[in-house]
Structure 1
């Protein structure tokens, strides 16, 4: 069982790509497990939905600016490096919501919360279902 390590709050500069910026932060801070949450706004985001039968993601490319209604995810190790897995619900100016796996998005505004978990090893490995998942953990 893990325990809470560092707790980080930071703002991503406008124009940066969300996933790559946070991943660089995780590498710099040597964070190998944890949780991520954020609020803000993304431009031209790409979100994915996993097609179970085809074992691949369908990517939806949204155009314009979208409010982050919810963004949460986890941090683990994949291929020896920190891996950020994020799901998001985005809203447009009409209040229409789009959700899925955040592939990428240019930041207009993003305030990020990262809570590190120490004492656990969460490594993603490719499974027969086409997803890179953690090993099962027993509590």
Structure 2
């Protein structure tokens, strides 16, 4: 993983983060967020994975259902946020749309993505912070704007 601060003004920072073949996208973003002590950021990315795991949140069971993707795919869309989790640590939440060789697509919550050959991420940190709280209805941590 390589990164560079490409813009800074009024407390807002924008980084370019480039992942290489073999890097795992979610672990790399988590590591970057911890190293930079991010508390509120948004990101987008494009690139490709050699394999990935998406997930779908099943409302009835309140569990994520794995969607294994065991193929080379284009990362057509990859967007998400970094906020402070209930434990005070940066939490990365991302969704992706992955394009298959035949032009069809799979989408969902990104659990893991092994990069091949690259993933190019633009991440913008906000000067304020956001926190997540455990939502009792869904059982998952959601951003609580009242804690900003």
TM-score by length of 1: 0.91
Shift of the alpha carbon at 1:4? 5.6
Give, in whole Å, the separation in 2 of the partners of 1:136 and 1:52. Answer: 23
Stretches (4+) displaced over 6 A: none
Q: Distance in 2 between matches of 1:4 and 1:37?
A: 20
Distance (Å, rounded) in 2 between the aligned partners of 1:123 and 1:130: 16
- The question of 1:95 aligning with 2:118 is answered no
Q: Is the 8 A contact 1:9 1:112 kept in 2?
A: yes
In structure 2, stretches of 5+ residues that fail to align are 1-9
Give how far 1:130 is off.
Answer: 1.4
CA distance in 2, matches of 1:93, 1:17: 21
Unaligned ranges ≥5, structure 1:
none
Deviations 1:85-129 (A, max 9, x none): 10100001001100000000101110110000112x311122111
Q: Is 2:121 the counterpart of 1:130?
A: no
Deviation at 1:134, TM superposition (A): 1.6
Match of 1:118 in 2: 127
Out of 73, 79, 90, the residue aligned to residue 66 of structure 1 is 73
The structure showing larger relative contact order (alpha-carbon pairs under 8 Å, at least 6 residues apart) is 1
Instruction: Let me know the Cα RMSD of the aligned residues.
Output: 1.5
